[in-house]
Amino acid sequence: MPRAGGEALVKGLRRGELAVVPGSGHALVVEKPRDTLDILLAFLARHPLADGNPATYNERDGGTS
pLDDT in tens, 7-24: 999 998 888 899 999 988
* Three-class secondary structure of residue 15 per DSSP: coil
Are 44 and 60 a contacting pair, CB within 8 Å?
yes
Are 44 and 33 a contacting pair, CB within 8 Å?
no
What's the pLDDT band for 1 if we cut at 50, 70, 90? confident
CA–centroid distance for 36 within its chain? 6
Q: Within a 13 Å sphere around the CA of 63, how many CA atoms are in the beta-carbon half? A: 0
How does pLDDT run across 32-46, given as a tens digit for each residue?
999 999 999 999 888
What's the pLDDT band for 29 if we cut at 50, 70, 90? very high
